[in-house]
Amino acid sequence: MKKTLFRTLQAGLALLLMSLTGCVSPCVKGYKTKPYTIRGIHYQPMQPRQALGYGDSGICSHYDESGLIFPGRTSTGEKIWPWTRAAAHKTLPLPCKIRITNLKNGRSTTVRLNDRGPFIAGRMLDVTTPVARELGFVKQGLTTVKIQVLSVGDGSYRIR
């Protein structure tokens, strides 16, 4: 009986700590590379080693989370607030760090990719408003960017 009570308290404490850090299941341990289907389209994320050094160019949009009263959650289970710097891609492993360069004005920044999307045809990347502001396209809503994967994973799972 005491062991069961102790395990229950242990599990409750672990959930409380995870919620305070903003990481409630499905927290990323390692990498998120599981295939998934959205609106009938199947996506197969890259494996971490395959993604290292990956580069691409395409249309980037930004999602406006300024109206959020309560935080949303990314695909990695992390909270997203209006001031969060993050990005979404359909097939890169999560999380990973990427360099984004706005090809229209030359501005560049690095950001942690921790979400899936954008799921609108023709778009490659979606960034939060602070990132769009830094890249100089927040008013336009869309721009053409080049991305380069710098590292994959966090902490002891990080590879470069």
Instruction: Check residue 92 and report its DSSP letter.
Output: S
Closest CA to 43 of 114, 99, 118: 118
Residue 16, SS3? helix
Residue 152: is it exposed, middle or buried by C-beta count within 10 angstroms (0-12/13-18/19+)?
A: buried
The per-residue pLDDT for 155 is 78
Alpha-carbon distance of 87 to 60, in angstroms, equals: 10
Q: Give the CA-trace dihedral at 155, 97, 88, 109, to 10 degrees.
A: 140
Instruction: Give the pLDDT mean for 35-55.
Output: 94
Report the alpha-carbon distance of residue 127 to residue 111 in Å, rounded.
Answer: 9
Q: What angle do CA 112, 116, 25 make, to 5 degrees?
A: 85
pLDDT tens track for 78-114: 888 888 899 999 999 999 999 999 999 999 999 999 9
**What pLDDT score does 118 carry?**
95
How far is it, in rounded angstroms, from Cα 118 to Cα 156? 28
* Residue 151 predicted with pLDDT over 90: yes
- Residue ranges and CATH numbers for the domains of the chain are 29-157 (2.40.40.10)
pLDDT of residue 26: 41
> Is this prediction's pTM over 0.75?
yes
102, two tokens: 């706005």
Closest by alpha carbon to 94, among 142, 30, 140, 156? 30
